[in-house]
């Protein structure tokens, strides 16, 4: 993942991989069904679809004059909702997630904090046995690569805030340890008393506390790194790119939109992106 400096803070850019594409054929079949115009298609598999349906050939279609005409001349975009793309997004931020979720017509599955915070909580519990608790916590969290920020000076601010919030909770909650550590791992606390490194290793190798994030999600910041899988139909993808691949958009979501567009096949972009249409 590339690194870039914004506001004198160094950030990592997200990585995007195209997982699947449905093709344009279903969208053309849908359009031809509306107009009963199968015989006018330049694609033989569409022309003969009502007599002999070759779904493999239909899903391999790379171009459609009808879809282009409907998209750019008549602005009839509902037809292209039948074409979908799925992306694996790695290393964007929870701040981007909040912006991204405003795009209603998408399927989105996001890395859960409920089930994936145990290493952070283990690091804090182990830090209680360290002579310099924050120093141990800070160095341990650096190894987990949890943030889109890679600037170590700024990370110290982020991680200090997390540490302070956990410390505040620990001092007020008599059940903190029981909520943080699986029952089968509780003996490790006595076994490795005074040895933060050994305790952290033992907690990490032991059973993870189920839903550990439920009691600790308040520590998460907008710069917390998340992975997600998103699926858009290309009408919704057009709206996403129009709004987010724009100088008016927040820089982190611009980076994501740029990375998504970079892995989107040209046959779809020709229907939804003016720059690619003009190159066609």
Q: Which residues of 187-200 are buried (b: 16+ CB within 10 A; e: fewer)?
A: ebbeebeeebeebb
Give how far the C-alpha of residue 249 lies from the chain's centroid of Cα atoms, to the nearest Å.
Answer: 17
pLDDT of residue 279: 65
pLDDT of residue 240: 96
| Local confidence band at 221 (pLDDT 50, 70, 90 cut-offs) | very high
- Residue 3 pairs with which residues in a beta bridge? 12
Share of the chain above pLDDT 70, in %: 98
Mean pLDDT of 91-109: 92
Is the pLDDT reported for residue 3 higher than 90? no
- SS3 state at 84: strand
**Closest alpha carbon to 70 in 49, 50, 40:** 40
Q: Sheet of 225-233: strands edge to edge?
A: 15-21, 84-93, 225-233, 106-110
The phi and psi torsions of 11 (rounded to 5 degrees) equal -120, 155
pLDDT of residue 188: 97
Is the pLDDT reported for residue 1 higher than 70? no
Mean pLDDT of 223-235: 96
Mean pLDDT of 157-177: 97
Per this entry, what is the length of the chain? 280
Is the pLDDT reported for residue 105 higher than 80? yes
Domains detected in the chain? 13-111+225-279 (3.30.1360.170), 118-215 (no CATH)
Contact 108, 228 (CB under 8 A): yes
Is the pLDDT reported for residue 132 higher than 80? yes
Mean pLDDT of 206-229: 90
Mean pLDDT of 76-81: 92
Q: How is the chain split among helix, strand and coil, in percent rounded to 5?
A: 55, 15, 30
pLDDT of residue 242: 95
Is the pLDDT reported for residue 248 higher than 80? yes
Contact 68, 31 (CB under 8 A): no
The phi and psi torsions of 172 (rounded to 5 degrees) equal -105, -15
């Amino acid at each position: 993942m590339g690194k870039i400096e914004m506001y004198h803070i160094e950030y990592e850019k997200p990585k995007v991989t195209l997982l699947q594409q449905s093709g344009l054929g279903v969208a053309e079949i849908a359009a031809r069904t509306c107009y009963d115009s199968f015989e006018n298609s330049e694609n033989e598999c569409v022309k003969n679809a009502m007599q002999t349906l070759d779904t493999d050939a239909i899903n391999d279609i790379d171009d459609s004059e009808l879809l282009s005409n409907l998209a750019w001349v008549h602005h009839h975009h509902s037809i292209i909702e039948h074409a979908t793309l799925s992306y694996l997004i790695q290393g964007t931020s929870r701040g981007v997630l909040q912006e991204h979720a405003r795009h209603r017509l998408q399927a989105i599955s996001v890395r859960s904090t409920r089930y994936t915070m145990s290493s952070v909580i283990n690091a804090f519990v182990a830090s209680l046995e360290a002579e310099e608790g924050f120093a141990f916590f800070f160095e341990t969290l650096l190894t987990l690569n949890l943030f889109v920020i890679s600037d170590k000076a700024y990370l110290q601010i982020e991680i200090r805030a997390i540490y302070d919030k956990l410390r505040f909770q620990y001092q007020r909650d008599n059940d903190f340890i029981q909520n943080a550590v699986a029952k089968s791992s509780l003996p490790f606390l006595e076994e490795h008393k005074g040895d933060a490194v050994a305790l952290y290793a033992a907690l990490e190798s032991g059973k993870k506390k189920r839903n550990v994030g439920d009691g600790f999600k308040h520590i998460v910041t907008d710069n917390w790194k998340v992975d997600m899988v998103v699926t858009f139909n290309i009408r919704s993808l057009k709206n996403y790119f129009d709004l987010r691949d724009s100088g008016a958009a927040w820089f982190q979501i611009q980076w994501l939109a740029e990375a998504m567009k970079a892995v989107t096949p040209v046959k779809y972009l020709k229907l939804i992106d003016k720059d690619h249409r003009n190159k066609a």
